[in-house]
Amino acid sequence: YISFLSQFYNYSPRNQLLIANQYKGAKAIAPYKKWQSLGAQVQKGEKAIKILVPSERKTFVRDIDNKKSVLPIKEATKEEKALMKKGEIKINKQLVFVKGSVFDIRQTGMPEDKYPQMIQQLRGEVTDYAKKIQCLNAVVEAYNIDVKESEDS
């Protein structure tokens, strides 16, 4: 389980579960554009894995005759946008989650022998890796945790 989770260090536990439920045995996950930037092309016809992606929503309050309504910034009039720039109309920022699409490395045309190199590029470098592994092993030992690895983790 830990090995499986370690493959998706950038994704929340909820997104890790979404990935696991939609694509059994996922190895390395990235958005379409990330695969392209790494020189891998998602194969035609592959179905995207849906996850939740944080997004900032900007809104403002329109007050007409004491009737207030919250609207997205894109619906503001030119006059309202000018008042926002002056700071006379407050812009509200809200964190929301929207549906995003990602793909597993096996959905790309990347040959299997290049997976380790590609996965390393996705993961990047971990500072103090040896020390962190040592600490994890100490916790495993101290709490007598049984660690097992499986083929598809």
CA separation for the pair 138, 72 (Å, rounded): 50
The pLDDT value recorded for residue 57 is 95
Name 54's bridge partners.
97
One-letter amino acid at 8 equals F
The per-residue pLDDT for range 104-149, each reduced to its tens digit, is 999 998 888 887 777 777 766 667 878 888 888 898 889 998 877 6
Give the lowest-confidence range in 19-23, 64-68, 121-125. 121-125
pTM assigned to the model: 0.64
